[in-house]
Chain A
Amino acid sequence: MSDIEERVKKIVVEHLGVEEGKIQSDSKFIDDLGADSLDTVELVMAFEEEFGCEIPDDAAEKIVTLKDAVTYLSANSN
C-alpha cells in the first residue's frame, strides 16, 4: 500500500468511524461506508488539510471512493 493510500485510509477511518479492514479501494464512501453528503464534504476538507492542497468543487464531486481520492491526491498534492 502506498504512503498516500495509507494516509487517506486513516482519514476515512477517523471521519467515518469504520473499521480499517472493511475499507476496500473501490468502497464508495456513501453507498458502502455509511457516509452522508455532509460527511463527504468534511472528508475532502480533511484530505486538503493532510495533503496541503486545494481540491476544487468539480474535482471533489468525482471523489467517491478511496481509489478516487488516492488517484487525485497522487497527481495533485504537494
Chain B
Amino acid sequence: MRRVVVTGLGTINPLGNSVNTSWENLIDSKSGISKITKFNVDTYPCKIAGSIEDSQINDEIVSLREQRKIDRFITLGLIAANEAIVDSGFISDEKSSLRSGVMVGSGIGGLDTIYKNSSVLDNQGIRKISPFFIPSSLINLLSGHISIKYNLKGPNSSPVTACATGTHAIGDSFTLIKNNKADFMVCGGAEAAICPLGISGFSAARALCDTFNEQPVKGSRPWDRDRSGFVMGEGAGILVLEELEHAKKRNAKIYGEVKGYGMSGDAFHITKPSEDGNGGYRAMEMALNESQLNPDEIDYVNAHGTSTQVGDMIELSAVEKLFETNNNLFMSSNKSAIGHLLGAAGAVEAVFSFMSMQTKTLPPTLNLDNPDTNTNINLIPNESILKPTKNIISNSFGFGGTNASLIFGL
C-alpha cells in the first residue's frame, strides 16, 4: 500500500506570514483578531475580523504588478504555496512534473473582485470591465497559478465545500497519491472574504460574532458560555503531500503522515449542522477506519470549533460519542486565535496539527473562561500545554452539510 507523508508546510494567517512566526504566536496565546479598518463598518453588526496587514505580504514572492491581476485569495495562496514548496525542497523536472499536481480550494474565491467589477459594470459600463476580472476571481485559478509557477503538470483541481474546503483538498490529494495517480501534491486552501459583501452576507445569515466589537480579541471563544458567532479570518494554508518512497528517495524532511480521510453529508439544512452530530460523527469514523487506529489511539482533536452557539456543542457531542472510551483526549480550536478562515481553515489547522506533533505542544482555546460544558475532554483553555502526540484528528464542517475529517500521525 502506498503511504502518504507531509514534506512541506506553508501559511499566511492573522498570526503571521510564515509557519514558524504564526505557530510561535499561537502557542504564546496571541490573538490575530482586531477591528476591521479596511472599509467602513459603522453600520455593520460585526466590526471585527482576523485581518492580514498588506505589509505582511512579501511582494518579492508575488509582485505588486502580479497582485493587481489576481484576487487577494490567490495572492495569499501563492505566498503560502511558495513557503511550502521551498520547504519541501522539491523542484520538478520534465518527468516528475507529470506526477506532481495541485489541489487548492477556496470557499468563496474572488468575492471582492466580483463585487468591485459589478459596481464598475453598473456605473461605468462594459468597456471598463478588466480582462483580468474572470481569471482573477475564479476559485481554481489559484491551483492554476501554482501549477504554472512551479511546473506541476499532474492532477489539477480545486474543491469548493465552504468551510470544509481545505480539509477536503488535503484528503482528496491524499487519496490521489494513495491510488497512484500522483506522487506529489500541493494542497490546501486560501480565503480573503473580509470585504463588504463577505462580512454583510455572513452577518445577514446571523453567523458572525456581534457582541465583542469593543474587545476584538475576546470575540472568538469556542465552547465558552458567552460565544455569539464566528469571527472571520483570512489567509492560506498549504501542505506538500508526497508518497513515502518518493520522499525517502530524495531525502526529504518528513513532518508526519496522513493516515485517514473521512467525508459525509448531513442531508439536513443549508447552514445548520444536523442536530445529533451524526454527519460529523460519520466523517470522523470513516477517517478512523481508514487509519486502522482505534479511538483510544487518538491523542488530540484539532476541532472545527467556530464559536457558534449550535455548532460547537454538536461537534463536542459527536467527539464524546466516538471517543467515549478515550480518557486522555485533548481538543482545542485554533479559530479562537485566528478566526474562521472559511475555505482555508482546515488547511491552516492541518499545518498547525503537524507543528503540534513536531513540537510536542498543543495550542490553546483562547477565551474559554466559562466552559458551556462539563465534558471530560481537556479543551486546553487559554494556555498551550506541552504534550507529545502521536495521532491527531482534524475536523471541518461546511454550509450545505458537508463534513470532512483527517487523521495525521507521526
Give the interface of A toward B (CB within 8 A): 15-17, 38, 41-42, 45, 48, 54
| Residues of B contacting A16 in the complex (Cβ-Cβ under 8 angstroms) | 65
What 16 new A-B contacts, CB under 8 Å, besides A45-B130, A45-B131? Answer: A15-B65, A16-B65, A17-B63, A17-B65, A38-B69, A38-B131, A38-B132, A38-B135, A41-B131, A42-B130, A42-B131, A42-B132, A45-B127, A45-B128, A48-B127, A54-B127
Q: List 18 A-B contacts (CB under 8 A).
A: A15-B65, A16-B65, A17-B63, A17-B65, A38-B69, A38-B131, A38-B132, A38-B135, A41-B131, A42-B130, A42-B131, A42-B132, A45-B127, A45-B128, A45-B130, A45-B131, A48-B127, A54-B127
Number of A-B contacts (CB under 8 A): 18
CA distance A42 to B133 in the complex (A): 11
Q: Smallest CB–CB gap between A74 and chain B, Å?
A: 22
Complex Cα spacing A16 to B130, Å = 15
Distance between B130 CB and nearest chain A CB, rounded to angstroms: 6
Give complex CA distance A39, B381 in Å. Answer: 52
Give CA–CA (A6, B346) in the complex, Å.
Answer: 50
Distance in Å: Cβ of B226 to nearest Cβ of chain A: 49
Contacts of B131 in A (CB 8 A): 38, 41-42, 45
Q: Shortest Cβ distance from B136 into chain A, in angstroms?
A: 10
A41 to B132, CA, bound (A): 9
Which residue of chain B has the shortest Cβ distance to A42 in the bound complex? B131
How far does the Cβ of A15 sit from chain B's closest Cβ, in whole Å? Answer: 8
The CA of A17 and the CA of B66, in the complex, are separated in Å by 9
Q: Which residues from chain A contact B130 at a C-beta distance below 8 Å?
A: 42, 45
Q: How far is the CA of A48 from the CA of B129 in the complex (A)?
A: 13
Minimal Cβ-Cβ distance residue in B for A15: B65
List chain B residues, Cβ under 8 A from A17.
63, 65
